[in-house]
Structure 1
């Protein structure tokens, strides 16, 4: 007999699973809704008594009790924050835990606190070591309330309790691989995530997402908000039973993600090496020209792993762009910024600002003629520069960009939204759009173009109807070569002085 261990997200306890438990038991399964320490209404435990390790031990005790009673497969379900104590328990009892179900939850790794995937400032209001429970409309900040009835929202308000802050800030410690066993992801589409988004991450996101294409990993979607145990308990129970039966959509790494052209490891254009100087996080690719020259700073996407090798500025893409603009007479600057997670946009923005100052201060650079060129999810970093452009910023280039945070990127601060930032005073934009873009990203590009047109902003469009996101390393075609050259020429026209125009 399958035994489900159900661990809920912040501010809630076992009561939130009431209707799901009833349906699972009616189907012949065992179900245990865990109320973690300090999370029961009226708890007398103080914040100092509870941290993430406490909650991990809570789940371990439940698992040990189930196994001692002779149950069959143990399926652990972690909703939102609940995936942290679930993974901690699996790490401590790897032989006693079977399948893990991520219910509208992130993918924490060793060393990650829950705050890494929470909205900015989520724990800032903690008083006495406790994060106050949301009330009413405040729940929306922690996840979509789509599908919740007025009665369900009232129940959340009435039974929610403050969350001990150390459960959210203490890093998760894992000694093994969380994906070394059958795994299921249940995605709540009204909260912004869906299988198509996961497919995008597998195809062109950081390499760590390739694990989601493992044949032991399956996916389901629920057309509801972030609280399916309250909004759709019947469909959720059905999905959990199907997950235990090893059903679910399987993903694969598309051929384009692993394929390489014959000239793998090179840039679509044949660009010779140029003199390169490394200055901290920044490399300068120098032209063969006299006098201060315009400069183009290239800003990669992400998130990327801090351990990724080669780092973005040593990748064929940024090396190629930096060398290409140097060959056109400008200084090509490439940057390794610290966008390691969705909550890191403020830190990455600081890195971009610091890099701009370094580039402008170099005597070989004309500090009044600068362009910033953003790629992929680095496009969100363009918002500050579009909203309040300095006089020396002559152009912003955007290549297969993300131009508004997708709905489930809750950890991204609101300021990083180029759709809202673009205006009449924005500098000219050179936008490279790929026709085979991930739908979640493509909609942000469409919204940006609409906002730019409405504001009267200048947008030069470079279209690649048959190209994919990240085409430089996988698609060396006449179309991609022409597009790279055209975008670079457009940028250089904006930054060139009269003598070079």
Structure 2
């Protein structure tokens, strides 16, 4: 017999699992919806000292009372922190850990680090020490839950109930670091990804292919993934489907993510054989120089991410960006690549500063025609185009974007940020825009491109779309096909045409 210990996120209690627990019990499993200290009907025992350790102790007492031979710990949102803390101390009692639409915190991470609402996170980080009764954080209003994750699929009545029953969260539960011995890292793990919240197996596989060493653990045989086509609160939006997925997880089902195979990742050569060109390195900026006299137009290529700061090679030394820089230089234009500081989803502000500084450096170079510059964004770097679309300068002759993210995904916590190209394209005016769209795009990213193109059509923006019907995300080093080569050539011709017109 399997016992499911169900631990919910911030502001909620065991009540939120009522329907899911009922479905699990109907199959013969045990289900223990947990109400942590200070939450639900346990608000009275809490006080200023209630912290993550308090909630870990809550779970340890429950685990020690459960007789079932297999205990599956399910952590949703904040709940994954006490789940991991308790499982780390009782690894012999835990059969599996289920991460329900939540990341994988590491030793030393406070729960605040995984909160998707970045504005909330910043406010809390700079909040002074609590005084008197100021030791709890009020729950969101009815229209504020989407800042914590997509509310897709939640019936109106259920969302109203969530708001009505939510209680303030003890501050220290979010700020106390999680401490792990390492025992929990050996336990079987299943990630349940909610696609309407911006997560999917395809997206995880794409991130693993990017070579981020932090994601290597996701390729281990003990790790599996399942999907739900709903938002961040499946216990309210899809309780039957969630119960079924939890049973499948407990049975060891799920998709395994393969590790990166040499020759199938971003380390493959650029799809066009371009001769080497002179390259000058100035700080974080590289310039590929053409064989031409006098100031020449320039294309600044902006990579995506997030990319950890210690990953090598850095983006500007990867074959795709070296290839683009050389390619435009061979056609008489200065190619510019750079490394910016998009190391985390919270880093878009400083990455934007790096791009702006690189553009300023390039325009000040006497070999560059400062009145003819194009910016070309890739993947998640596409969000950085928002500033340039919002208020284009006369010298900016074109903005290009290849397999771009053009609106933040719901679980990125950027809902109210300035980095929303789909919202700023309306102020781009006559600025030419070239979008390279791949037919085999990850669904969550493809939706942002369509949102952008719809907005561009509504405001009659000047957008040219270069389609790669059989192209993948990162196709320049994955798809060495004539169709892919033709798409790169067409996109380059389009951008250079706007520079020269």
Give the alignment's TM-score, normalised by structure 2. Answer: 0.86
1:279 and 2:277 matched: no
1:81 and 2:78 matched: yes
Please state how far the C-alpha of 1:15 moved relative to its aligned partner: 3.2
2:493 pairs, out of 489, 495, 499, with 489
1:242 and 2:248 matched: yes
2:158 maps to which residue?
Answer: 152
SS of the aligned residue for 1:144 comes to: coil
Count of residues paired in the alignment? 490
Unaligned segments of structure 1, at least 5 residues: none
1:299 pairs, out of 298, 302, 305, with 302
1:45 maps to which residue?
Answer: 46
Encode CA deviations 1:271-318: one digit per residue, 9 max, x unaligned. 233333333322223334343332221111112222221111111111
1:121 and 2:122 matched: no
Whether the aligned pair in 2 keeps the contact of 1:117 and 1:342 (CA below 8 Å) is: no
1:459 maps to which residue?
Answer: 463
1:32 and 2:36 matched: no
CA distance in 2, matches of 1:178, 1:325: 50
1:164 and 2:170 matched: yes
CA distance in 1, matches of 2:423, 2:315: 28
2:3 maps to which residue?
Answer: 3
1:217 maps to which residue?
Answer: 223
2:103 pairs, out of 102, 106, 109, with 106
Mark the CA change 1:52 to 1:308 in structure 2 (over 3 Å): closer, same or farther: farther
CA distance in 2, matches of 1:140, 1:475: 37
CA distance in 2, matches of 1:251, 1:38: 37
Unaligned segments of structure 2, at least 5 residues: none
SS of the aligned residue for 1:346 comes to: helix
CA distance in 1, matches of 2:416, 2:266: 39
Task: Please tell me the root mean square deviation across aligned C-alpha atoms, in Å.
Answer: 3.2
Encode CA deviations 1:48-106: one digit per residue, 9 max, x unaligned. x234444344434444x24xx65412211100111122223334444443311011222
Mark the CA change 1:296 to 1:91 in structure 2 (over 3 Å): closer, same or farther: farther
Whether the aligned pair in 2 keeps the contact of 1:285 and 1:333 (CA below 8 Å) is: yes
Whether the aligned pair in 2 keeps the contact of 1:387 and 1:426 (CA below 8 Å) is: no
1:373 pairs, out of 365, 372, 376, with 376
CA distance in 1, matches of 2:360, 2:58: 50
Mark the CA change 1:232 to 1:316 in structure 2 (over 3 Å): closer, same or farther: closer
Mark the CA change 1:142 to 1:252 in structure 2 (over 3 Å): closer, same or farther: closer
Deviates more, 1:170-179 or 1:451-460: 170-179
SS of the aligned residue for 1:99 comes to: strand
Please state how far the C-alpha of 1:402 moved relative to its aligned partner: 1.6
Give the alignment's TM-score, normalised by structure 1. Answer: 0.86
Please state how far the C-alpha of 1:26 moved relative to its aligned partner: 4.8
CA distance in 2, matches of 1:495, 1:305: 33
Encode CA deviations 1:144-180: one digit per residue, 9 max, x unaligned. 3344455534443343221233433445454548663
CA distance in 1, matches of 2:389, 2:184: 40
